[in-house]
Amino acid sequence: METLSFLDLSSNCLSGTIPRSLQCLRKLVILDLSKNNLSVLQNCSRLFSIDLGENRFSGTIPDLVSAHLFSLTYLGLRANFLRGNIPEQLCEFPSLHIIDLAQNKLSGTIPKCLGNLKTFTYLGPYFDELPSTLHIEFREHVEIVSKGRQTEYTKIIPLLNVIDLSADDLKGEIPDHITKLSALFTLNLSWNHLSGKIPENIGNLQRLESLDLSHNNLSGPIPPSMISMTFLNYLNLSFNKLWGQIPTGNSSKLSMILVYMKETQSFAVLHYQAVVQRRPMEMEKMKMETQKVKWRSLGFM
């Protein structure tokens, strides 16, 4: 057991705690305890990849994550009962390229220092030459929510730069610093209480493929700089108070964008362009009409 480097106990019915002697083995670098009923975890400092998603962990992020995880690349804490702020210590992990804190009870604002995460600002050697098995590290599986669906990857590629802070209790504005993350592929800030405008320089995220800002309190125009987001093929801005047109220009992949309120609400899909071009009061009317369509589809009207 002392030579064990990868421990995957995911998708079981484990509860309580995992013995520290098993969690903090000397050579253990990848720990996957997702989809259990665990509530206690010893804080270990040598891990390379942590997936504790869909458990019953409570407390704060520092209770689970050591401040000395300088080799951490993947942090998955989705669907737990974590509270408190997103700690700035996450910004000090130089190799971190997947942050999944969705579906918790995290509060406060989005740390500005996230804009300093180096792995999100350059593509590294993987785009300088064609990827091969010499450059890609194989793992058992990692599940990422991107482009409106959950996808399981059987090998985690360092190209997969993801920040998912959806379905928490975050407030304040989207920090301008986040537009520095030029190698970010997926950004999901939906289902929070974010306010203010979409950063004007959002177009700097030129490698972004999936952007979900839906179900917040965002207002103002859709930034014209989005014309530079030529890789973007999934965009959800619904249930905000935004207006204006989505810039198309030379963004050839914009034809692949689906902006919807729920998959069953075809009215919202077909009329999204009308939604974003209307002022907030008119958007409220559109939402009411969409709700009517929803109730009709369920047989209540």
The verdict on residue 178 lying in a domain is yes
Whether 219 is covered by a domain: the verdict is yes
Pair of tokens at residue 20: 């520290």
Q: What confidence category does residue 69 fall into, taking pLDDT thresholds of 50, 70 and 90?
A: confident
pLDDT (tens digit, 9 = 90+) per residue, 202-212?
999 999 999 99
Does 301 reside within a domain? Answer: yes
- pLDDT surpassing 50 at residue 45: yes
Claim to verify: residue 247 and residue 266 sit in the same structural domain: no
Same domain, 252 and 273: no
Write down the pLDDT at residue 175. Answer: 96
Q: Are residues 301 and 154 in the same domain?
A: no
Residue 290 has pLDDT above 60, yes or no: no
What is the pTM for the complete model shown?
0.80
**In a domain? residue 1:** no
pLDDT in tens, 94-117: 889 999 999 999 999 999 999 999
Q: Is position 241 within any domain?
A: yes
Same domain, 122 and 266: no
Pairing assessment for the beta strands 74-76 and 49-51 based on DSSP bridges:
parallel
Give the per-residue pLDDT at 250. Answer: 52
Note whether 249 and 295 are same-domain residues: no
Q: Tell me the sheet residues that pair with 248.
A: none
- The answer on 271 and 154 residing in a single domain is no
The CATH number of residue 99's host domain is 3.80.10.10
The pLDDT assigned to 195 comes to 97
| Residues 38/50, Cβ–Cβ less than 8 Å | no
Same domain, 125 and 253: yes
Is residue 118 helix, strand or coil?
helix
| Gyration radius (Cα) of the chain, Å | 20
Question: Are residue 33 and residue 58 in the same domain, yes or no?
Answer: yes
Question: How many domains is the chain partitioned into structurally?
Answer: 2
Check residue 107 and give its pLDDT: 97
Q: Give how far Cα 14 sits from Cα of 66, 101, 201, Å.
A: 23, 21, 45
Q: What pLDDT is stored for residue 227 in this prediction? A: 87
Q: Is the sign of the CA dihedral 102, 108, 112, 116 positive or negative?
A: negative
Expressed as residue numbers, the domain containing 267 is 260-301
What's the Cα-to-Cα distance from 89 to each of 78, 82, 93, 251, rounded to whole Å? 18, 16, 7, 36
For residues 288 and 171, state if they share a domain: no
Task: Tell me: pLDDT of 253 over 80.
Answer: no
- Is residue 120 domain-shared with residue 163, that is, in the same domain? yes
Confirm if 174 and 198 have CB atoms less than 8 A apart. yes
Greatest Cα-to-Cα distance within the chain, rounded to the nearest angstrom: 64
Q: Which long-range contacts (CB under 8 A, 24 or more apart) does 63-69 make?
A: 65/89, 65/90, 67/92, 69/45, 69/93
| 277 and 188 in a common domain | no
Q: State residue 297's pLDDT score.
A: 35
